[in-house]
Amino acid sequence: MKQFFLSVALLSTLLFNAQEKRPQNWFNLDPTTDKMNGVGTERTYQELLKDKKSTTVIVGVIDSGVDYNHEDLKGVMWTNPKEIAGNGIDDDKNGYIDDIHGWNFIGGKDGKNVDGENLEMTRLIRKMKPKFEGKTEADFKSKEDKKDYKLYQELKVDYAKTTEKFEGAFNQTKFLYEGISNLNKNAKEQLKAEVVDADVLMKFEPKDKSDKQMKMIATAMMKGGQGKNLDEVSEQMKEGYNQFKTYVDCGLNLDFDPRNIIGDDYNNPNDRNYGNADCKGPNSFHGTHVAGIIGASRKNGIGMDGVAADVQIMAIRAIPSGDERDKDVANAIRYAVDNGATILNMSFGKKYSWDKKVVDEAVKYAESKGVLLMHAAGNDHVDIDVEVHYPCKKFEEKGEASNFMDIGALNWQPNEKIVATFSNYGKKTVDLFAPGVDIYSTVPEGGYKDASGTSMATPVACGVAAVLKSFYPNLTPQQIKKILIKSSIKTYKGQKVLKPGSKDELVKFEKLGKNGGIVSMYEAVKMAEKYSKSKT
């Protein structure tokens, strides 16, 4: 599941918590010189990296797809040097035809693509129902069957609660979207206005209770920065409406299964050569936004600046609008590793896992090849020490991946509000926190927008990791992880902050993550420099 706008908590935070506008480019600003909770990108380039040489780092973005023709991304996209575009031949013999900028593991050979998908719980219930429905635990003899029976019962309860939650969210966003769209139409007609901003809306005289209510809501939303006018507010509501509609129509629909589009042998985890070359896909908002945060062209005078200055973005499409499939995630990791990526951004996650073993094997493969995995902690404001957020660094059998980091999200507002209200947390699991609220980045078709989520925090941290790898190429994933953690800013250690998901519960910052630290590019580069000198 893409970790953006995909929890009820996050939607309500974004739509109804009016707040002042975030500072421009805040995630690249510095806590010391700018008094902002950013990672110090600009300060680091100016003071520490000005005269240093870098080597290009390939960063794999496993996501919904990337708009590789975006004006701020086309200059930093990875291009397969051994593949000839459009000739229909697997020139480099890697099993993937015309993989110029990456690969799409959720598409068919005929060019069709999966967009909406089931949640994993939906797929598991559909799979287990024929065997367990209408039975009791006493009907099964083996420990494995009894275990699966209990899981099936848990899934049904969770499915019912989730359905109620998302149907409620869908009805809410539908009500608001239709109401604000109607208000926009009526206000334009009454006031003879092409655009209705807050000042124009003040003059509008509602004719019914609906318009009166929507006028109050829309005014609050514009005041809170959720749009400059009713066109923008309506478009934002449309995005929420469409996403929750996808949940209802696809995610929780037991009769919906789009896997036939792909045409693979789904039950064979070793079946890897499927998909198509469309690594942008039908809905690449999320992946394009992530890619921009990591490495949008710096200092080109347009749009925004990514964190890393010398990267190539490899686009691997494996994350639909719904829960990703373990097989696709595993194959995406392997593809990226085999084609030269040394850092992977994984801004996705889910509550259940169909085949954790196949993902564990891919993570171990990446570990053996010296590839760092940066993973979003998730947006449901839960303790992921207790509620596992897959994929995870702990292996199913035993042990833990040394090349895997989980990243939580920070707000740009200081003090007790510093942790994003939606961010998952975990004293044993979340390695670090990074900026993840109101992050301005690239979106498809040449656009730029703010977005929030641990999905945005992870590419910020990933960009910092890429800078370390770029300027200090001999660093291993384990060394980069160690440097990021040890160099993290501990300003908030010992201070009480609002616990994600609560209105007024305060907890010490270090209770939310195992290091009580905030990613700092400035301090990480200083430490990497000392580390490299000590090794020469």
Is residue 231 among the annotated active site residues?
A: no
pLDDT for res 118: 98
* Catalytic member of 441, 455, 487, 520: 455
Q: Is the separation of the CB atoms in 464 and 433 below 8 Å? A: no
Q: Provide the token pair at 347.
A: 């801004």
Q: Considering 193, 219, 251, which residue would you say is the last residue of a domain? A: 251
Termini Cα distance of the chain? 43
Total of domains in the chain: 2
Classify residue 82 as exposed, middle or buried by CB count within 10 Å of its CB (0-12, 13-18, 19+): exposed
* Residue listed under structure tokens 């993550």: 513
Q: Is the separation of the CB atoms in 463 and 487 below 8 Å? A: no
Residue 516 shares a structural domain with residue 405: yes
Residue 113 shares a structural domain with residue 175: no
pLDDT for res 13: 46
Identify whether 299 is part of a domain. Answer: yes
Model confidence at 4, pLDDT cuts 50, 70, 90, reads very low
Residue 125 shares a structural domain with residue 97: no
Identify whether 266 is part of a domain. Answer: no
pLDDT for res 1: 67
**For residues 388 and 394, what is the distance between their CA atoms, to the nearest angstrom?**
10
Residue 82 shares a structural domain with residue 181: no
- The angle subtended at Cα 59 by Cα 55 and Cα 63, nearest 5°, is 165
What's the whole-number mean pLDDT along residues 370-388? 97
- Pairing of β 57-63 and β 102-104: unpaired
Residue 318 has pLDDT above 90, yes or no: yes
Domain with 289, as residue range(s), is 8-117+274-534
pLDDT for res 528: 97
Q: Considering 251, 266, 293, which residue would you say is the last residue of a domain? A: 251
Residue 18 has pLDDT above 50, yes or no: no
Residue 71 shares a structural domain with residue 186: no
Q: List Cβ neighbours of 39 (8 Å cut-off, separation of 6 or more).
A: 27, 28, 30, 307, 434, 435, 460, 461, 464, 519, 520, 521, 522
- Kindly report the backbone phi and psi dihedral angles of residue 162, in degrees, each rounded to the nearest multiple of 5, phi listed first: -65, -40
Please report, to the nearest 10 degrees, the dihedral formed by the alpha carbons of residues 318, 322, 327, 333 taken in order: 40
195 CA to centre of own chain: 33
Residue 290 shares a structural domain with residue 146: no
pLDDT for res 226: 80
pLDDT for res 10: 43
pLDDT for res 213: 95
Is residue 381 among the annotated active site residues?
A: no
Residue 20 has pLDDT above 80, yes or no: no
Residue 199 shares a structural domain with residue 286: no
Identify whether 25 is part of a domain. Answer: yes
**For residues 284 and 292, what is the distance between their CA atoms, to the nearest angstrom?**
12
Residue 15 has pLDDT above 70, yes or no: no
**Alpha helices, DSSP H only, in 397-520?**
454-471, 477-486
Residue 380 has pLDDT above 90, yes or no: yes
Identify whether 2 is part of a domain. Answer: no
pTM attached to this predicted model:
0.94
Identify whether 113 is part of a domain. Answer: yes
* Catalytic member of 208, 249, 265, 271: 249
Per-residue model confidence as pLDDT tens digits over 58-95: 999 999 999 999 999 999 999 999 999 999 999 999 99
Residue 21 has pLDDT above 80, yes or no: no
Per-residue model confidence as pLDDT tens digits over 175-221: 999 999 999 999 999 999 999 999 999 999 999 999 999 999 999 99
Residue 414 has pLDDT above 90, yes or no: no
Q: What integer best gives the mean pLDDT of the chain?
A: 94
Q: Letter for the amino acid at 474? A: N
pLDDT for res 536: 56
**For residues 471 and 55, what is the distance between their CA atoms, to the nearest angstrom?**
6
Residue 167 has pLDDT above 80, yes or no: yes
Residue 12 has pLDDT above 90, yes or no: no
Residue 276 has pLDDT above 80, yes or no: yes
Identify whether 163 is part of a domain. Answer: yes
* Catalytic member of 286, 375, 381, 389: 286
Q: Considering 251, 282, 312, which residue would you say is the last residue of a domain? A: 251
Q: Is the separation of the CB atoms in 132 and 152 below 8 Å? A: yes
Residue 167 shares a structural domain with residue 96: no
Model confidence at 2, pLDDT cuts 50, 70, 90, reads low
Residue 111 shares a structural domain with residue 161: no
Residue 182 shares a structural domain with residue 235: yes
Is residue 380 among the annotated active site residues?
A: no
Residue 411 shares a structural domain with residue 318: yes
CATH number at residue 282: 3.40.50.200
341 CA to centre of own chain: 19
Per-residue model confidence as pLDDT tens digits over 121-142: 999 999 999 999 999 999 999 9
pLDDT for res 236: 86
What's the whole-number mean pLDDT along residues 251-271? 96
What's the whole-number mean pLDDT along residues 22-45? 94
Residue 5 has pLDDT above 50, yes or no: no
Residue 89 DSSP class: S
Identify whether 257 is part of a domain. Answer: no
Q: What proportion of the chain, given as a percentage, has pLDDT over 90?
A: 90
Identify whether 529 is part of a domain. Answer: yes
pLDDT for res 224: 80
Q: Provide the token pair at 296.
A: 């949008």
Residue 480 shares a structural domain with residue 353: yes
